[in-house]
């Protein structure tokens, strides 16, 4: 593929900044960079514009540095709260990625940050607070506190009902509640059953008349 050398007139992410001389595919320069006004061909006449481009680049970078420095101060004081679904054991379903953090910053605080500026060693998979590094500019870095909370309400354990103490008998424990239930209840004023039986009445004696 044919290459051509161009002078960038604007900052192009992944390619360079104003006044940089870079080699790109000829079709890319012809069909995109030149029509968009992002670059000009490298010629003797165009080289005269390099000083003006360098001056404009220095002003842009200084403005970006000041803007990102102020943003870094604000972000360092913020706490980004995220919610995640969890199981009964408290473990998260899924994870929090740089894209998730960038989206929530835009949604909660209306701060637009490219997800590439959010640096995580690995996706966040645990609840609690995390320190996340943000590289807003080659010369400006800061940290953002991210707190992940569970979206699933925790269920409290059910306490077991209290049991009656067991009475020790013969080296073993006997449940006194069962023993009491087996014994028939007797009224306090109950008399012996034999006392309740009525004795038969005695027949009156009849005297015989003398003949």
- Alpha-carbon span 13 to 21, nearest angstrom: 14
- Alpha-carbon span 50 to 42, nearest angstrom: 10
Give the per-residue pLDDT at 195. Answer: 47
Give the per-residue pLDDT at 2. Answer: 86
- pTM for the model: 0.60
The residues facing 22 across adjacent strands are 6
Query: pLDDT below 70 — which residues of the chain?
Result: 153-211
Give the per-residue pLDDT at 131. Answer: 95
Distances in Å between the Cα of 40 and the Cα atoms of 14, 18, 49, 152 are 17, 11, 10, 57
Domain boundaries, the chain: 3-48, 73-150
Give the per-residue pLDDT at 152. Answer: 78
Give the per-residue pLDDT at 206. Answer: 52
Angle at the Cα of 177 from the Cα atoms of 172 and 181, rounded to 5 degrees? 120
Give the per-residue pLDDT at 211. Answer: 43
pLDDT tens per residue, range 99-140: 999 999 999 999 999 999 999 999 999 999 999 999 999 899
Q: Are 116 and 98 in contact (CB under 8 A)?
A: yes
CATH superfamily entry for domain 73-150: Ribosomal protein L9, C-terminal domain (3.10.430.100)
Give the per-residue pLDDT at 149. Answer: 93
Q: Which fold has domain 3-48?
A: Ribosomal Protein L9; domain 1 (3.40.5)
């Amino acid at each position: 593929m044919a290459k051509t050398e161009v002078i960038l007139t604007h900052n192009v992410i992944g390619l360079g900044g104003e006044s940089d001389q870079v080699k790109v595919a000829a079709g890319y320069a012809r069909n995109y960079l030149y029509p968009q006004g992002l670059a000009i061909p490298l010629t003797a006449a165009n080289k005269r514009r390099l000083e003006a481009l360098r001056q404009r680049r220095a002003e842009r970078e200084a403005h970006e540095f000041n803007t990102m420095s102020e943003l870094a101060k604000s972000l360092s004081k913020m706490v980004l709260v995220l919610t995640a679904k969890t199981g009964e054991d408290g473990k998260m379903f899924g994870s929090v990625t740089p894209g998730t953090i960038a989206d929530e910053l835009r949604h909660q605080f209306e701060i637009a940050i490219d997800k590439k500026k959010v640096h995580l060693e690995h996706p966040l998979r645990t609840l609690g607070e995390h320190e996340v590094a943000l590289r807003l500019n080659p010369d400006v870095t800061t940290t953002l506190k991210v707190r992940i909370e569970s979206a699933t309400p925790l269920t409290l354990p059910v306490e077991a009902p209290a049991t009656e103490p067991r009475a020790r008998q013969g080296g073993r424990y006997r449940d006194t509640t069962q023993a009491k239930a087996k014994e028939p209840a007797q009224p306090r004023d109950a008399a012996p059953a034999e006392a309740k039986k009525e004795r038969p009445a005695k027949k009156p004696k009849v005297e015989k008349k003398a003949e």
